[in-house]
Structure 1
Amino acid sequence: MRGVIYPILALCALGAPAAALPPVSSPLPQPRPELRTLAVSTAAVRREPTAFAVTRSPRPVLRGAVPAAEDPGFRRWIAEFRTRALAGGIRAETFDRAFAGVALQSRVVERDRNQAEFSRTLWDYLDGAVSDTRVANGRRAVAEHRETLAAIERRYRVDAEVVVAIWGLESAYGAMRGSTDIVSAMATLAYDGRRRDFFEAQLIAALRILQAGDVAPRQMTGSWAGAMGHTQFMPTSYLEHAQDFDGDGRRDIWSDDPTDALASTAAYLAHFGWTYGQPWGVEVVLPRGFDYALTGERVRRDAGFWRRQGVRLADGGQVPDHGQALILLPAGAQGVALMIFDNFRVIERYNPADAYVIGVGHLADRIAGGAPFRASWPRGDRALTGDERRELQQRLTAAGFPTNGVDGIVGPNTIEAVRRFQQSRGVVPDGYASLRLLEQLR
């Protein structure tokens, strides 16, 4: 969901346009981010950050972010926006109540313009995303809300542990819902102009929420970029998917009671095609002599095909039949191998970064009593930086293995180019874009 604006959105929890952005086509040619070189927060594990952030170059501040009373330009913008909002169906009293005391937020502008890249490996991310603490807290949350979660699961046919895992990654089970005033933040970002259309749409949606009476203006809080509540919905997606599950007449995702937020997340996943009882993925073992050209997003086959190839579950059992599946190697042949199913794509609608999806899925499995991944990760490897990923693409293309663009996103085209380069060198063609491979190209 975050990826509809930034296909590899990777910001710290409560610091990004978070869950449930309205899905649209990605503007970049590579639909998924590189699993091995993730831009993720370096916040302490105790904060349990969840997501990813697009690398952007910091831009100079074009106008000073000062208190509203000292910024006549912001006042003029509010007056102009008020005209547009009222023409769009927002009542004058709703608008005026929402904007009472609203000020330009310098911190929001600074955070939006200065999102540094932190390269982090998938396994480092998972160490925090599926830490023992987060697993234990998730099991506690399931026990505490067992009846509510069972009722949500029955109504929406979405597995409760997955809903709880999203809750855990988005707000540490409600402990980090965000305290930024949403109207002030959205107005600041719309006025700032870098993404005016997007944030004006979010601000109109926020006003519609207020007009419906779901929350009071100053109680509508969340991240600096507009994500709200226990499971971090953006205002537009709140309008489309939020639920009044407890029947009190309000779709309340902000209060200490997570009921409506959890139901809203289940409704979101159900809307995008969740298959009840289907795993997001399973860990598998590939046989000696396996054809690595069969891995990746472009090869989807049924269970019978993979069984004939000798693919087994990590515990030695037969791979399950849940329809078409593909083999994902997030760390190449030396790391965990996953067979992923359609529900993987549904979680992607919440956040399209592979590592986020794996984090949600694996956390859900662990909350349900599942074991950690059996295979090891290549922990001696470090993540490629953004510049190194772009250099890798440039050098692959120059060597005759075109990546169809230089954007720093190691997606299917780059993985295929890496695989063909590896074949030319007589090494396992697993498509793993490592520092060692970049050094060979150099």
Structure 2
Amino acid sequence: MRKQWLVGLVALGIGISSPMASADEGFDDYIIGLKQEARSKGIDDSILEEAFAGVQFIERAVTADKNQPEKKLTLDEYLPKAVPQWKIDQANRYYRQHKQALERIGRQYGVQPRFIVALWGVESNFGKLTGSYNVIEALSTLAYEGRREAFFRDQVMAALTILQQGHIHAAEMKGSWAGAMGQPQFMPTSYLTFAVDGNGDGKADIWKSEPDVFASAANYLSKSGWNDTYTWGRQVTIPDSLSDSLKGVELQKGKTLSEWQALGVRRLNGAALPKVDIQAWLVQPDDNHGRAYLVYGNYQTLLKWNRSHYFALAVSTLADSIR
């Protein structure tokens, strides 16, 4: 294992200038261990040969993982960048272009098509930005690097299982530096749980098949608790006197719209909240002076996809812009 190899070098008195400087020296041995584990899980040698052919340590993947942007934009700064007018225009065009498939899949899984398109747009710019990394190579690198070894090692095994099942060839399994794959940017474990065949060809091709992308995204939302009777929520105004302790998406902080109305929460235009018997949560992602939202169960489902209020609000904003 990687850690045992490093300890051995220290014991021999061999200096290591930095983990990154020597990180790829034991990578080949680490790959041998991954192959052994995969064989024990029933992965064929032919798949392993194809998957690991030419695999090398990718330093830039580790660098990207360690140096993710730290600057926090406010929602007022972020949303216009995440949901610009050109993306809204494209979302509406793609909605019309794929309307028949989207409506069929929406009915099948109980998910409004506009949210499927919005997720597609936010995750990969409608399939244009899916990543060019070899997924096995990227995942193996990040597992070997070690900070989240167990997570990425599990992802390697899941990716190999996908190859074993014949959904895609290893050379075509491309994704982000973190191993997120295809147009919906599924991690391999999410693929195995949620990816489905949307066009009837027997494969769940989230890389090239739009119907498979749409069906897989809808299946993810459906299995995670989506309810197409309702939307996601709305931006609201709140009184200055409202306690911060009431804000958040924790289960116990949910209240009915009538209860929020009694606490002084109003629609953005100052009108009363809808008279609908639905549970809602108050979120204010920035601070007490930033945007406030009442969100419903579907928003909670979006957070299961990505635990980021900014992500969920970008998807929701784009979905609301599709007509």
Aligned 8 A contact 2:120 2:127 in 1:
yes
Aligned 8 A contact 2:261 2:272 in 1:
no
Structure with the bigger percentage of helix: 2
**Distance of aligned partners of 1:320 and 1:267 in 2 relative to their CA distance in 1, 3 Å threshold:** farther
Which residue in the other structure is 2:41 paired with?
88
Aligned 8 A contact 1:307 1:319 in 2:
no
Which residue in the other structure is 2:262 paired with?
308
1:345 corresponds to which of 279, 300, 303: 300
**1:285-434 superposed matches below 5 A:** 285-286=237-238, 291-292=242-243, 295-297=246-248, 299-315=253-269, 316-332=271-287, 334-368=289-323
1:276 corresponds to which of 221, 225, 228: 228
Deviation at 1:224, TM superposition (A): 0.7
Q: Aligned letter for 1:271?
A: K
Q: Aligned letter for 1:84?
A: E
Which residue in the other structure is 1:61 paired with?
19
Aligned 8 A contact 1:166 1:231 in 2:
yes
**Distance of aligned partners of 1:141 and 1:292 in 2 relative to their CA distance in 1, 3 Å threshold:** same
| Pair 1:231-2:189 in alignment | no
CA distance, structure 2, for counterparts of residue 193 and residue 277 of structure 1: 44
Which residue in the other structure is 1:193 paired with?
146
Deviation at 1:62, TM superposition (A): 3.9
Residues 349-380 of structure 1 show CA distances to partners (whole Å, capped at 9, x for unaligned) of: 01111111111111111123xxxxxxxxxxxx
Q: Aligned letter for 2:247?
A: G
Q: Aligned letter for 1:265?
A: A
CA distance, structure 2, for counterparts of residue 145 and residue 232 of structure 1: 20
Percent of aligned positions with the same letter in both sequences? 37
Deviation at 1:227, TM superposition (A): 0.1
Deviation at 1:317, TM superposition (A): 4.9
What SS does the corresponding residue of 2:122 show, helix, strand or coil? Answer: helix
Q: Which runs of 5 or more residues in structure 1 are unaligned?
A: 1-59, 369-442
**Distance of aligned partners of 1:361 and 1:194 in 2 relative to their CA distance in 1, 3 Å threshold:** same
Deviation at 1:110, TM superposition (A): 2.2
**1:157-196 superposed matches below 5 A:** 157-196=110-149
CA distance, structure 1, for counterparts of residue 272 and residue 69 of structure 2: 44
Aligned 8 A contact 1:65 1:105 in 2:
no
Deviation at 1:334, TM superposition (A): 4.0
**Distance of aligned partners of 1:103 and 1:301 in 2 relative to their CA distance in 1, 3 Å threshold:** same
Deviation at 1:63, TM superposition (A): 4.3
What SS does the corresponding residue of 2:22 show, helix, strand or coil? Answer: coil
Greater Cα shift, 101-110 or 86-95 = 101-110
CA distance, structure 1, for counterparts of residue 238 and residue 33 of structure 2: 61
CA distance, structure 1, for counterparts of residue 190 and residue 296 of structure 2: 25
Aligned 8 A contact 1:245 1:260 in 2:
yes
Deviation at 1:304, TM superposition (A): 2.2
Q: Which runs of 5 or more residues in structure 2 are unaligned?
A: 1-17
What SS does the corresponding residue of 1:64 show, helix, strand or coil? Answer: helix
CA distance, structure 1, for counterparts of residue 283 and residue 59 of structure 2: 42
CA distance, structure 2, for counterparts of residue 326 and residue 83 of structure 1: 47
Aligned length: 303
Residues 50-83 of structure 1 show CA distances to partners (whole Å, capped at 9, x for unaligned) of: xxxxxxxxxx5344355xxxx4x22222222211
| Pair 1:153-2:106 in alignment | yes
Which residue in the other structure is 1:128 paired with?
81
Aligned 8 A contact 2:257 2:277 in 1:
yes
CA distance, structure 1, for counterparts of residue 52 and residue 88 of structure 2: 40
Residues 205-242 of structure 1 show CA distances to partners (whole Å, capped at 9, x for unaligned) of: 11110011100101000001100011100001101110
CA distance, structure 2, for counterparts of residue 157 and residue 98 of structure 1: 36
CA distance, structure 2, for counterparts of residue 231 and residue 284 of structure 1: 30
CA distance, structure 1, for counterparts of residue 29 and residue 318 of structure 2: 48
What SS does the corresponding residue of 2:236 show, helix, strand or coil? Answer: strand
